[in-house]
Amino acid sequence: MRTTLKLISPLIVSVVVVSLLFAGYQVRTERRVLRNDLSRRDEILGESLQENVEPQFDRPLPDKSLQRLVDRFGQREHLKCVAVYNANGVALAVTSGLASLFQIRPAAAALAAERDTGFGEFLSVNNTPVHVYALPLHSNDQVVGTLALVHDATYIDQQVAHTLRDSLVNALVQTLLVTLLALILVRWTLTGPLARTAKWLRTLRTGQSHAPPSLPQGEVFDQLHHEVTHLARDLNAARATAEEEARLRDTNDSLWTAERLRVSLSSKLQNKPLFVIANREPYMHVRGIGNNGNVQVIVPASGLVTALEPVLLATEGTWIAHGAGSADRETVDAKDHLRVPPDHPKYTLRRVWLSAEEEKGYYEGFANEGIWPLCHIAHTRPIFRPEDWVAYQEVNRRFADAAIEEMESTESPIVLVQDYHFALLPRMIKEARPDARVAIFWHTPWPNPEVFGICPWGRELIDGLLGADLVGFHIQSHCNNFLSTVDRAVEALTEWDRFSVNRQGHVTRVRPFPISVALQENGQPARTMAEESAALCNELGISATVLGVGVDRVDYTKGILERFRGIELFFELYPSYQRRFTFVQLGAPSRTKIERYQTLLDQVASETERINARFQAGHWKPIVFLKRHHSHEEIARFYHAASLCMVTSLHDGMNLVAKEFVASRGDNRGVLILSTFAGAALELTDSLLVNPYDVQQLAGAIHRALNMPVEEQAARMQRMRDSVREHNVYRWAASLLSDLTEIRIDAPERAESAEPLTR
Chain contacts with ligand F6P (rule: CB under 6 A): 279-280, 302-304, 419, 443-444, 590-591, 653
Q: Nearer to ligand F6P by C-beta: 125 or 682?
A: 682
DSSP code for 495: E
Q: Nearer to ligand F6P by C-beta: 49 or 307?
A: 307
How far apart are the C-alpha atoms of 462 and 487, rounded to whole Å?
Answer: 10
Long-range contacts of 433-438 (CB under 8 A, 24+ apart): 433/404, 433/407, 434/745, 435/411, 435/745, 436/407, 436/412, 437/412, 437/413, 437/469, 437/470, 437/740, 437/741, 437/743, 437/745, 438/467, 438/468, 438/469, 438/470
Closest CB to ligand F6P belongs to which residue?
A: 304
Cβ at position 542, least distance to ligand F6P in Å: 29
How far apart are the C-alpha atoms of 610 and 511, rounded to whole Å?
Answer: 45
Q: Nearer to ligand F6P by C-beta: 436 or 588?
A: 588
How far apart are the C-alpha atoms of 197 and 226, rounded to whole Å?
Answer: 12
CA-closest candidate to residue 145, choices 120, 168, 116:
116
Cβ at position 553, least distance to ligand F6P in Å: 6
Cβ at position 420, least distance to ligand F6P in Å: 7
Q: Nearer to ligand F6P by C-beta: 298 or 569?
A: 298
In 284-424 the beta strands, taken as DSSP E runs, fall at: 284-287, 295-298, 317-322, 337-340, 347-352, 414-418
Cβ at position 316, least distance to ligand F6P in Å: 22
Q: In the sheet that 142-152 helps form, which strands lie side by side, from edge to edge?
A: 91-94, 79-86, 142-152, 128-139, 119-125
Cβ at position 733, least distance to ligand F6P in Å: 15
Check: CB of residue 657 under 8 Å from CB of residue 674: no
How far apart are the C-alpha atoms of 246 and 323, rounded to whole Å?
Answer: 40
Check: CB of residue 465 under 8 Å from CB of residue 430: no
Cβ at position 709, least distance to ligand F6P in Å: 34
Check: CB of residue 92 under 8 Å from CB of residue 86: yes
Q: Nearer to ligand F6P by C-beta: 212 or 282?
A: 282
Cβ at position 707, least distance to ligand F6P in Å: 32
Q: Nearer to ligand F6P by C-beta: 156 or 479?
A: 479
Cβ at position 225, least distance to ligand F6P in Å: 30
DSSP code for 104: B
Q: Nearer to ligand F6P by C-beta: 131 or 558?
A: 558
Check: CB of residue 310 under 8 Å from CB of residue 258: yes
Q: Nearer to ligand F6P by C-beta: 73 or 442?
A: 442
Q: Nearer to ligand F6P by C-beta: 118 or 653?
A: 653
Cβ at position 315, least distance to ligand F6P in Å: 19
